[in-house]
Amino acid sequence: MSAAIATPAAARGRRLRPGFLATRKGMVGFAVLAFLVAVAVLATWIAPHPPDAIDGSRVLAGPTLAHPFGSDALGRDVLSRVIFAFRVSLAVAVGSTLLAFAIGTPLGLLAGYRGGWVDATIMRPIDMLLALPALLLAVALIAILGPGSAIALLAIAVIYTPILARVARASTLVVSSQTYVEGARARGAGPWRILTRHVLPNAVGPVIVQATILMGFALQIEAALSFLGLGAQPPTSSLGVMLADGRDVLSQAPWVEIFPGVAIAITVLAFNLFGDGLRRQLDPRGVTR
Amino acid sequence: MTAPILCLEGVGVGFPTSQGRVSAVTDVSLDVREGEIFGLVGESGCGKTTLAMATMGLLPSTSDVSGAIRFQGQDLVGLDREALRRLRGDRISMIFQDPMTSLDPAFAIGDQVAETILAHRDIGRREAKARALDLLVDVGIPDAGRRYGDPPHRLSGGMRQRVVIATALANEPALILADEPTTALDVTIQAQVLSLLASLRERHRTTIVLITHDLGVIAQVCDRVGVMYAGQLVEVASVGELFARPRHPYTQALLEALPTVHHERGDLRVIAGRVPDLTDPPPGCRFATRCPHAMEVCATTPPLADEDPAHAVACWLSEATQRAAGHVGIASGGTS
């Protein structure tokens, strides 16, 4: 037996590649996201100026070559501030969604696979959470726990967990009735193994798609909370905080407001396009539609 | 004659539905002998698959199973879940109908075979992979070493069914339940898969229960055959006997319905009427409603009785059935 055994991971990698890049949408979304993530990660090296450097001579100065996005009320470089604020916003958006994904997926999986009273016990509280308006829920949580980026992250995770759990449950219901799950049972696999090795890998696709799209909206929610003063607290800035600052000087120096706004719009759009591209690959049955 | 490996005694299976309880299988008694290929034939919904699932302990928990299913002397009905799980894929394994859906699309085919071994044997991953590769070679996957890591969608239907058979063989089970293993395949592939099963039986001395609705498949590979109708076992005979001298009117009608090259076009024989509603089955013989020979006595269930050692039938037209029930001379003469 000299023939080498190809690794299945490689086989799956080969299968994943073309899908989300096959559509132009997915490709554009992926490219923009890759660029944005690179900017966030490399902020310290990319930003042309220190974000907190105050320059009294440049108060509300318009865009120039040295300061392409202009300067704000304290003469700080808007481009550098947008880059650093974006880093915070993106971290909160990604972190909150990942947290919701990590909690919601197992809950939905278990509810869908076991059914009966397990399903009811898990899903009824989740339905109750879904019934509350998202932003109100976040504001209430922050009122209890105090403002800050970490709390905003937690609040968004609380909003998203029920959504992702529902998608995971729906997808699990479809997968659990497949012959190969029955087949695994017929081969003597235990319930834990069936759930983790057969149901999870086949059911998680739609959840990933939904999570990707939700990430974009998480950035929006973070911005809204920060705009209201409930998210990032000084000296940390986020895109929402910048929107709030820019509002005061909107008529004299619109660039202070416009650029963080554009950053939010582009990011949400990129997440959506990328999510749509992923859907083609990971959710052919359209559970998330 | 070899000892029975699987012994069904008065097996009944019922499911609750919104229309009431469906009795999918009633009072089936049957011996499957070690080393044989036993065919179980009947139309859709006659209880063949239900019987296999009951043997595997894979019926939904809402169903009720009565009677005894003895495998190597051990009654499987009411056996606890863990004991059944240990049996499944090890001593008894099952091949499903549709190879397109019975393999996990997110799993390398070789690993699905290895998984079956690892679920039952206390051996290392590397060893299980080596064994899985041997099995893939054994069932005739060309270039098995390179194919090992492929996901199922890269294989054709026939190749996938070979992989499914490899998983079924993984632990050298004593009994394989093959539920319509060739129905989803075209005839040339069907012939290959059937001859593979036959040759595996020769080499591994595995007993196979082959469930099908195709009498051609039965004729090709089976030693003995049981005919089911609407949840009842109506006739059991060696394959030669069944095709030469079908005793039960249902079997006769089935064989007559087979088209042959001598038939005129458009001259397909059919069995008049429909399968009875199993939520409210007629009393006695369930074929009585469609049977050209139906009599009053058919409202009582005819027992399955041996006409001769190679042929048992459950029909009041049979003298053996009459003797077994203690009736004499209800009908004049036998069948055909």
Question: Residue A3 has what pLDDT?
Answer: 42
**Residue type present at position B136:** L
Q: Which residue of B has its CA nearest to A183?
A: B102
Strands B64-71, B4-17: pairing kind: antiparallel
Task: At B71, list the tokens.
Answer: 């495998």
Nearest to A63 by CA among A259, A255, A262: A255
Q: Which residue of A has its CA nearest to B109?
A: A8
The one-character DSSP state at B297 is G
Tell whether the model's pLDDT for residue A166 goes beyond 90. yes
> How many whole angstroms separate alpha carbon B167 and alpha carbon B189?
19
B133 touches A: beta carbon within 8 Å:
yes
ipTM over cut 0.95: no
Nearest CA to CA, how far is B277 from chain A (Å)?
Answer: 26
> How many whole angstroms separate alpha carbon B53 and alpha carbon B57?
6
Q: What angle do CA B248, B254, B257 make, to 5 degrees?
A: 140
Consecutive H or E run containing B203 = helix B187-204
**Helical axes A200-227 vs A239-248, angle rounded to 10°:** 20
Tell whether the model's pLDDT for residue A145 goes beyond 80. yes
Q: Output the CA torsion sign for B40, B44, B50, B56.
A: positive
Cβ contacts (< 8 Å) between B104 and chain A: which residues?
A: 180, 183-184, 198, 201-202
The one-character DSSP state at B156 is -
Q: Do B145 and A3 touch (CB under 8 A)?
A: yes
User: Which residues lie closer than 8 Å to A47 by C-beta, 6 or more apart?
Assistant: A77, A79, A80, A83, A84
Q: Please, is A83 exposed, middle or buried when counting C-beta atoms within 10 Å of its C-beta (0-12, 13-18, 19+)? A: buried
Q: Which residue of A has its CA nearest to B129?
A: A5
Is residue A270 within 8 Å of A13, Cβ to Cβ? no
Nearest to A179 by CA among B155, B104, B111, B152: B104
> How many whole angstroms separate alpha carbon B118 and alpha carbon B126?
10
Higher pLDDT, A220 or B329: A220
Cis before A8? omega within 30 = no
pLDDT tens figures, B74-87: 898 888 888 888 88
Instruction: Map residue B136 onto helix, strand or coil.
Output: helix
Question: Residue A12 has what pLDDT?
Answer: 45
Question: Residue B187 has what pLDDT?
Answer: 83
Task: At A221, list the tokens.
Answer: 């929610």
3-state secondary structure chain A: CCCCCCCHHHHHHHHHHHHHHHCHHHHHHHHHHHHHHHHHHCHHHHCCCCCCCCCHHHCCCCCCCCCCCCECCCCCEHHHHHHHHHHHHHHHHHHHHHHHHHHHHHHHHHHHHHCHHHHHHHHHHHHHHHHCCHHHHHHHHHHHHCCCHHHHHHHHHHHHHHHHHHHHHHHHHHHHCCHHHHHHHHCCCCHHHHHHHHHHHHHHHHHHHHHHHHHHHHHHHHHHHHHCCCCCCCCCCCHHHHHHHHHHCCCCCCHHHHHHHHHHHHHHHHHHHHHHHHHHHHCCCCCCC
> How many whole angstroms separate alpha carbon B248 and alpha carbon B227?
9
Tell whether the model's pLDDT for residue A2 goes beyond 70. no
Consecutive H or E run containing B221 = helix B215-221
pLDDT tens figures, A242-287: 998 888 888 888 888 899 999 999 999 999 999 888 887 787 666 6
The one-character DSSP state at B291 is -
> How many whole angstroms separate alpha carbon A72 and alpha carbon A81?
9
Hey, which residues does B173 pair with through a beta bridge? none
Question: Residue A87 has what pLDDT?
Answer: 92
Q: Residue A67 CB: number of other CB atoms within 10 A?
A: 21
Consecutive H or E run containing B95 = strand B92-95
User: Which residues lie closer than 8 Å to A271 by C-beta, 6 or more apart?
Assistant: A29, A33, A212, A213, A215, A216, A217, A219
Q: Please, is B206 exposed, middle or buried when counting C-beta atoms within 10 Å of its C-beta (0-12, 13-18, 19+)? A: buried
Tell whether the model's pLDDT for residue A140 goes beyond 50. yes
Cβ contacts (< 8 Å) between A201 and chain B: which residues?
A: 104, 106-107
> How many whole angstroms separate alpha carbon B226 and alpha carbon B298?
20
Nearest CA to CA, how far is B90 from chain A (Å)?
Answer: 7
The residue among A1, A2, A5 with the most chain B CBs within 10 A of its CB, best to mutate, is A5
Tell whether the model's pLDDT for residue A5 goes beyond 50. no
Q: Do B111 and A182 touch (CB under 8 A)?
A: no
Nearest CA to CA, how far is B50 from chain A (Å)?
Answer: 14
Question: Residue A284 has what pLDDT?
Answer: 67
Is residue A159 within 8 Å of A141, Cβ to Cβ? no
Stretch A84-104: mean pLDDT: 94
Cβ contacts (< 8 Å) between A200 and chain B: which residues?
A: none
Q: How confident is the model at residue A37 (pLDDT cuts 50, 70, 90)?
A: very high
Tell whether the model's pLDDT for residue A28 goes beyond 80. yes
Is residue B40 within 8 Å of B226, Cβ to Cβ? yes
Q: What angle do CA B26, B29, B35 make, to 5 degrees?
A: 135
Interface of A to B at Cβ within 8 Å reads 1-8, 10-12, 15, 178-180, 182-190, 193, 197-198, 201-202
Instruction: Map residue B131 onto helix, strand or coil.
Output: helix
pTM of the model: 0.79
User: Which residues lie closer than 8 Å to B131 by C-beta, 6 or more apart?
Assistant: B114, B117, B123, B170
Helices and strands of chain B, counted as H and E runs: 11, 12
Cβ contacts (< 8 Å) between B127 and chain A: which residues?
A: none
Q: Do B89 and A180 touch (CB under 8 A)?
A: no
Question: Residue A1 has what pLDDT?
Answer: 38
Average pLDDT, consecutive stretches of 10 residues, N- to C-terminus, chain B (336 residues):
82 87 88 91 86 88 88 88 88 86 87 90 90 89 89 87 89 90 83 87 89 88 92 91 90 83 69 80 86 86 86 88 71 43
> How many whole angstroms separate alpha carbon B232 and alpha carbon B227?
9
Cβ contacts (< 8 Å) between A178 and chain B: which residues?
A: 101
Q: Do A187 and B102 touch (CB under 8 A)?
A: no
User: Which residues lie closer than 8 Å to A106 by C-beta, 6 or more apart?
Assistant: none
pLDDT tens figures, A198-213: 999 989 999 999 999 9
Task: At B171, list the tokens.
Answer: 């632990």
Tell whether the model's pLDDT for residue A90 goes beyond 80. yes
Nearest CA to CA, how far is B179 from chain A (Å)?
Answer: 12
Q: Do B130 and A1 touch (CB under 8 A)?
A: yes
Q: How far apart are the first and last CA of chain B?
A: 29
Tell whether the model's pLDDT for residue A7 goes beyond 50. no
The residue among B91, B95, B100, B104 with the most chain A CBs within 10 A of its CB, best to mutate, is B104
Q: Do A187 and B105 touch (CB under 8 A)?
A: no
Q: How far apart are the first and last CA of chain A?
A: 47
CB contacts < 8 A (A, B):
107
Cβ contacts (< 8 Å) between A11 and chain B: which residues?
A: 108, 149-151
Tell whether the model's pLDDT for residue A13 goes beyond 70. no
Q: How confident is the model at residue A222 (pLDDT cuts 50, 70, 90)?
A: very high
Hey, which residues does A232 pair with through a beta bridge? none
Q: Do A183 and B164 touch (CB under 8 A)?
A: yes
B150 touches A: beta carbon within 8 Å:
yes
Q: Output the CA torsion sign for A233, A234, A239, A242.
A: positive
